[in-house]
Amino acid sequence: MPVDLTPGPSPQLRRGVPEGRSEVKILFLGDIVGKPGRQGVQALLPALRQELKADIVLANVENLAHGKGMTTSTLSEVMAAGVDIGTGGNHTFSKPEANELLANPKYNLVRPENFGSSYPGQGIKTFTVGQKTVMVINLLGQHGMPFEPVESPFKVMERWLGETHEISDAIIVDLHAEATSEKVAMGWYLDGKVSLVVGTHTHVPTADARILPQGTAFVTDLGMTGLRDSSLGVDKNMALERFLNGQVVAFDIPEHGLVALNGVLVKINHGKATSIERIYREVEV
């Protein structure tokens, strides 16, 4: 059966957009890596949010706790700094506290929907922040991911597209995936059906942020919020040891250095993206 790429109304427009729900500005930060990433968010985000006039701030939070998983304290730090909603990935359940955090309504979190129902939490959820409402969908890629087999994210979205959804100002998809081809394909599949598709996981920002023909903003990977002079946020010397000598060493994250904050700012009006801008800031921690 051929893939349906026919443009159509976004699911949140099926019953119309209610009065007062029009433009929303979304700031989405790439994977926050370890203590330096958290400190970078604490130092930069409060002023950045005001500068950009962002209505809602999202961030991938699966690397908060020393690069793997999240804890109550690490999640509380970034949310106190202004992160409204956190998305996950293959490391979401690396810390035992994840189960409790995902069940606690105090924390606005999603985990990959294609993990299945045996995992706690939800992968598709609607949040209200201030006067704005956003549906957030989190998916895990299948290709090259260090995780047990999961259902195809495309099958998950195919099923979701056939359902009726409550009204929201925007629909945001985070595909946490290794393969750029998989993320690009998802962008094309969802063009005109959601407001924004971002890729996370590779920690390297891609230079392809744009609005697709039917009004969906897209970027293959947001990059990370972590130490710039590192290997994907971890000690570069340890990474070199692994590549040069083939030794499996436990990665570490230095506590100090120059933090690079990467993300995108997206304007969405009546469910369709009108602009997407790469955001980059630096700070010493």
Q: What amino acid positions are annotated as catalytic residues?
A: 91
In sequence order, the 6+-apart residues with CB closer than 8 A to the CB of 148 are: none
177: left (phi over 0), alpha (psi -120 to 50) or beta: beta
